[in-house]
Structure 1
Amino acid sequence: MPGDLYLLAGRYRLIERLGQGGAGTVWRAIDEMLDRQVAVKQVRVPDGLDQRERAEFADRAMHEARSAGRLRDPAIVLVHDVVLEGGQPWIIMDLTTGRSLDKVIKERGPLPPGFVAAVGLRVLSALEVAHAHGLLHQDVKPANILLDADGSAMLTDFGIAAPMGGRGDMFGSAGSPGYMAPERLNEQPSGPSADLWSLGASLYTAVEGRAPFERALPAAVAAAVLLHEPPFPARAGRELGGLLMAMLAKNPAARPTAAQVRQVLSGLAGPGAAPQRPARRRRWWLLPAVLAAVVALGAGGWYAAAALGGKDIGRYATAPDPCTLLTDAQVTGFTKSKPERSLTRPGECQWLVRESTYPARRLIVRVWAEQPTRDLDGPAVAQRRFASEKSTRAAAEGVSQRQAYGPIREVPGLGEAAIRQNGFKFYLDSDQSGMADSILLLRTSNLLVEVVWHREDVDVEAAPGKSAEAVADPQTAVAAARMIVAALAK
């Protein structure tokens, strides 16, 4: 742990520790090059990682921090720089003078519903910008919401944001259990609705003065998130309370969309008690019934609700089982080995090819179906998500430490749109071998499918900057994708 006045990267002088949590430590520092104060986050590296895993963690952390640095919104604390020192990623951000929402709650107790709704609108704006760029915040909680003197809110700690779908949850252990959506606690794929769940839990805490799943022990908190419903937030009132309960639904498909959350909060936002607006109240009057229907219908709830509203849902009410999209015989044909198939998590299937007892190669298929919003139909949401994924992955092109990603390439004739990208990661103790990935993403109607062909112990003699393309094997991923598209057409 660095001491006071430690000079980071020859530029950032650490002055004092501002706070510490599960994701890392935040310092106040001076950027000696520009003579200004900044906040520096020392990202915590998870315990129990070997050297290779620590290097991979650091590389991915820096990549995601750079992606977060592209986000621009008045409610987002900006990320300026990211450096690697002492084997740890360090993220440099704006130093804000606001006080965290959790401290305000501790000092003042429950806050007025109108004020809480206004805070929620600001944080929602920040999340919508992040989601439009294909990033999840992953750690929305009162401690990461800062309030200025005029009461306006900002969302900080975007340095640990992670991409939707794609390459896994880099910071899956980050965050506080009481503010992590059930799917994250279950280590299942998460999307924008997970961030909205965390926002709902944060606003619940602000208006009630206590967390929705408050318990004495962290393990009990996590169990409550997974198994129990929170008490109705009586201080919130019927409208805000109903919205918060809907946002805290266990099933992601049963939660309101960002547009629906914005509609309700806009009608309630104010410095004090919620204003009475008849027109908005009439629109909101229908939402509890819709949400109740969604809860009753389960995963297909938004499908039914959208159908009633005349939306084009798209071809897929829910994503198909990825393990049914390829047969073992097909995988054997293009891997030239007998694979072991397993459903690794919901929405993801893996075919593992072993050499001796060592897992040398694996084919991974991930699927997810986008659902309509108030403003967009299902295929339009999928198209926007595909475009966001494309731009995020294109930004990764180049070399970062011992990892390289090639350019994005279009793949014609696969669904309505398809792209592929190659990646290579040198082992920590070698400049000649490492791990290679050929990644393909395609869209058809409202469905997105990702195919990853991963190979271990790949030898390369090219320079690191060329290695991703030099050892690429995109044909296997493309062949698998063509068979998947044929299976979907049946």
Structure 2
Amino acid sequence: MPDDLYLLAGRYRLIERLGQGGAGTVWRAIDEILDRQVAAKQVRVPEGLTPRERAEFADNAIHEARSAGRLRDPAIVLVHDVVLEGGQPWIIMDLVSGRSLDKVIKEQGPLPPGFVAAVGLRVLSALEVAHAHGMLHQDVKPANILLDFDGSAMLTDFGIATPMGGQGGRFGGAGSPGYMAPERLNEQPSSPASDLWSLGASLYTAVEGRAPFERALPAAVTAAVLLHEPPFPARAGRDFGGLLMAMLAKDPAARPTAAQVRQALGALAGPAPVPRRRRWLVPAVLAAAVALGAGGWYAVGALRGEPEIGKFATAPDPCKLLTDEQAAKIMKAKPAREATRPGECQWILRDGGEDGRRRIVVRAWAERPDGDLGGTQVAQRRFASEKTSRAGAEGTVMREIRGSVSDVPGIGESAIIQNSFKAYINSDATGWSDSTVLFRTSNVLGEVVWHRENVPVSDPADKEPALAVARLVSAVLSK
């Protein structure tokens, strides 16, 4: 391998550019630690941002990509890592073979309705997992739907997913006008219904061979989405066409729910493709189930060699991992507790007096088996990846200083801590400080952030509160 190829974060060797779009540029890369090919997405940073806005954009991109990395579904292209280099966010994902749905449409024209409905079911499964975790995809379109050789579909580009209820595009946002729901174009709050609208537009394109709001100019496409109804999709048939028209309703409240879409697509879909993995085991496993009778299902799992889940079947509620009394003792005042999003809880002192606002954030998520790896192994891999990427972010970028990553004994099965400080835009003397502890217990990863504001640059680190909370949280998880 040529030594002059760019090495990202001291780990990912960029090989070739695979594609470029509004949300960024995707490269084929080699993970030199695990010796495997990956896709590295260079997230597009909007032009015209101030240094503070650019830093905030990078922070948000990294946080949301890490949240998206927790999503697990056979139809989701996995996010493995996220790194920040020179103020530029990068997202590391599975490198998936196959062709995008938009290329298949260009080559073959309109696709059979039953096949398109089956594709829709797979994509819907991915969206339902994301929505259950409080995430919106925000860029469902044919170019982000990949088809394998057997016709099974996967949804990619979850690295730009955003929390539910967010306003559309403060930094420009992602998405293609013809596949963005009307509320997003109007910069109104997004919801799961917004992703379902985009799914409807994508399926319409697949079954008709053209987009529902196809126009010559982007501005005309936007106007059509906002003001006009698409032609009824004649090739889809009455039932499928009626479903697509309902999914493309201007009013989010008038669109069918995910459950209703699933029921309708299930009745329309052609035969689902048989998964490639362990296909040869199916007859033997079914025969074993019949022979073993009531105890068969346990034995079937053993015959299939299914990887272990880990100690936690589901992610624990972070609000139950730390009591209000414990938080008050550490913060030396009574905080307000808020469940901010799935998998996250925080205790806030909004009026911290001379010390400024302070906040404890607790996050927890459970890793699921992935292929032949058990949940604990996936969590170990995720922890190692996070440790590498956070260590690679050490240094000073504009007004932010990230310290080194240090191992912490006695918290979970493995733990690290890192301090960071960001100076205010109007002051080099003060800013906000975070001390972050990441730890792993079995297949659960936990994160504790001790956040302080109005911190003097001479005293940026205060790790003891973060360590104290992490010890309490990990003790609960270890019971």
Distance in 1, matches of 2:167 and 2:217, equals 32
> AA paired with 1:20?
Q
Q: Percent identity?
A: 80
Distance in 2, matches of 1:151 and 1:432, equals 58
Could you tell me which residue of structure 1 aligns to residue 343 of structure 2?
A: 391
Kept after mapping to 1: 8 A contact 2:168/2:184: no
Distance in 2, matches of 1:463 and 1:243, equals 59
Query: In structure 1, the residue corresponding to 2:237 is in which secondary structure?
Result: helix
Output the TM-score relative to the length of structure 1: 0.59
The aligned length equals: 314
Residues 357-384 of structure 1: CA deviation (Å, up to 9, x unaligned): xxxxxxxxxxxxxxxxxxxxxxxxxxxx
Query: In structure 2, the residue corresponding to 1:62 is in which secondary structure?
Result: helix
Kept after mapping to 2: 8 A contact 1:4/1:14: no
Query: In structure 2, the residue corresponding to 1:77 is in which secondary structure?
Result: coil
Gaps of 5+ in 1: 273-385, 396-403, 410-422, 437-454, 471-490
40 and 158 in structure 1: CA distance in 2 versus 1, 3 angstrom threshold: same
Could you tell me which residue of structure 2 aligns to residue 63 of structure 1?
A: 63
> AA paired with 1:68?
A
Kept after mapping to 1: 8 A contact 2:25/2:44: yes
Q: Find out whether 1:122 has 2:76 as its counterpart.
A: no
> AA paired with 1:433?
T
Question: What's the offset of the Cα at 1:392?
Answer: 4.0
Distance in 2, matches of 1:124 and 1:260, equals 11
Distance in 1, matches of 2:460 and 2:144, equals 37
Spell out the pairing of 1:400-411 with structure 2 (5 A cutoff). 406-407=360-361
Kept after mapping to 1: 8 A contact 2:177/2:221: yes
Distance in 2, matches of 1:271 and 1:388, equals 41
463 and 159 in structure 1: CA distance in 2 versus 1, 3 angstrom threshold: farther
Kept after mapping to 2: 8 A contact 1:432/1:461: yes
Could you tell me which residue of structure 1 aligns to residue 250 of structure 2?
A: 250
63 and 168 in structure 1: CA distance in 2 versus 1, 3 angstrom threshold: farther
Spell out the pairing of 1:293-442 with structure 2 (5 A cutoff). 389-392=341-344, 406-407=360-361, 426-427=423-424, 432-434=429-431
Question: What's the offset of the Cα at 1:167?
Answer: 8.2
Kept after mapping to 1: 8 A contact 2:65/2:158: yes
Distance in 2, matches of 1:214 and 1:166, equals 27
Gaps of 5+ in 2: 273-337, 348-357, 364-419, 434-451, 467-479
430 and 206 in structure 1: CA distance in 2 versus 1, 3 angstrom threshold: same
241 and 424 in structure 1: CA distance in 2 versus 1, 3 angstrom threshold: farther
> AA paired with 2:91?
I
207 and 392 in structure 1: CA distance in 2 versus 1, 3 angstrom threshold: farther
> AA paired with 1:389?
R
Could you tell me which residue of structure 1 aligns to residue 307 of structure 2?
A: none
Q: Find out whether 1:48 has 2:2 as its counterpart.
A: no
Question: What's the offset of the Cα at 1:169?
Answer: 5.2
Kept after mapping to 1: 8 A contact 2:166/2:190: no
Could you tell me which residue of structure 1 aligns to residue 145 of structure 2?
A: 145
4 and 210 in structure 1: CA distance in 2 versus 1, 3 angstrom threshold: farther
Residues 376-405 of structure 1: CA deviation (Å, up to 9, x unaligned): xxxxxxxxxx9782424569xxxxxxxx96
Distance in 1, matches of 2:459 and 2:99, equals 48
Question: What's the offset of the Cα at 1:86?
Answer: 2.4
Distance in 1, matches of 2:16 and 2:359, equals 37
Could you tell me which residue of structure 2 aligns to residue 320 of structure 1?
A: none
Kept after mapping to 2: 8 A contact 1:39/1:93: yes
Could you tell me which residue of structure 1 aligns to residue 109 of structure 2?
A: 109
Could you tell me which residue of structure 1 aligns to residue 76 of structure 2?
A: 76
Distance in 2, matches of 1:77 and 1:14, equals 19
Residues 91-132 of structure 1: CA deviation (Å, up to 9, x unaligned): 000000011000000000000000000000000000000000
207 and 464 in structure 1: CA distance in 2 versus 1, 3 angstrom threshold: farther
Could you tell me which residue of structure 2 aligns to residue 398 of structure 1?
A: none
> AA paired with 2:341?
E
Output the TM-score relative to the length of structure 2: 0.61
146 and 170 in structure 1: CA distance in 2 versus 1, 3 angstrom threshold: farther
Distance in 1, matches of 2:98 and 2:246, equals 30
Q: Find out whether 1:208 has 2:208 as its counterpart.
A: yes
122 and 459 in structure 1: CA distance in 2 versus 1, 3 angstrom threshold: same
Kept after mapping to 2: 8 A contact 1:100/1:143: yes
Kept after mapping to 2: 8 A contact 1:39/1:92: yes
Query: In structure 2, the residue corresponding to 1:37 is in which secondary structure?
Result: strand
Question: What's the offset of the Cα at 1:426?
Answer: 3.9
> AA paired with 2:343?
S
